[in-house]
Amino acid sequence: MDKTVPAGAALLLDFIGDIEAPKGYGTIYANKQSKLAKPLTSMTLGDVVDAQQTWSKNHGSSAAGRYQFMRATLQDLSKELVLRGNQLFDADLQDRLGYHLLKRRGYDAFMAGKIGRTEFAKRLAQEWASLPVLAATKGAHRQVARGQSFYAGDGVNKALVTPERVEAMLAKVKAAKPETTPPPKPAEPLGRSKRLWTWLTTGGTGVGVLSGVAGLDVWLQRGIGVLLIVLAVYAIATMPDVRKKLGLGG
């Protein structure tokens, strides 16, 4: 599975792929891939779309790949995603395109709780005819019952998996942990800041220096002391975390 596909989507795509094309990414409709001049995954996207022009007549459908992309679907995806015709139609590209189809059908909304399982399953059934609807609904050709393909009645398509398996899979998908990036390292507490202690130490050293010049005029000693304090305060105040605490910006 392509690494850019989130865990939940990867589970769902594997489930769909095992139903649509159990023999993998090189599959074409009716498992007639042996009739191809070269493996499907060695063809470019442009070659696949061109070849699909005759597949409906010669093989019964233009469906290609692990997710059985129809020619019209690939053409639409190519325009929407600005794909290049010379891209290899390999497993990774098919996974990314499959994930995009999931998002088209409401994957993000389902994961966010904005649409329910039954609605999402219906949308998936509209994309992949082998998947069943989970509740009675108006299908593409007639009223369909739970467990039937959305395209039931066309004389070709039928559901190849039970609604109970779809429900169980969607529960796993919903429970899949999203990939997260490690939280940013918290800012070092001011009291532990090495820079702070460096400047405090410097200030202390300055006081030591003053003790070494005790013979100087008292006003000169005070002036040097004030100067060291001002320098220390300025250095500390320019630290980003101190500026934030003082409301002075980053």
What confidence tens digit (pLDDT) does each residue in 26-84 have? Answer: 999 999 999 999 999 999 999 999 999 999 888 889 999 999 999 999 999 999 999 99
CA distance 72 to 43: 18
Q: Note whether 238 and 157 are same-domain residues.
A: no
Q: Note whether 64 and 164 are same-domain residues.
A: yes
Residues 174 and 110: beta-carbon distance below 8 Å: yes
Q: Is residue 226 part of a domain?
A: yes
Q: Note whether 39 and 161 are same-domain residues.
A: yes
Provide the residue range defining the domain that includes 48: 7-175
Q: Is residue 181 part of a domain?
A: no
**Residue after which a domain boundary falls, among 175, 202, 220:** 175
**Residue after which a domain boundary falls, among 175, 198, 213:** 175
- pLDDT in the model for residue 50: 96
Label residue 234 by pLDDT band (50, 70, 90).
low
CA distance 74 to 158: 22
Give the tokens for residue 190: 């001011």
Q: Is residue 227 part of a domain?
A: yes
Q: Note whether 149 and 207 are same-domain residues.
A: no
Count up the domains in the chain and report the number.
2
Q: Is residue 183 part of a domain?
A: no
SS3 64: strand
- pLDDT in the model for residue 4: 95
Q: What is the pLDDT of residues 205-223, one digit of tens each?
A: 444 444 455 555 666 666 6
- pLDDT in the model for residue 165: 98
Give the tokens for residue 9: 């989507």
Q: Kindly state the average pLDDT of the residues 123-135.
A: 98
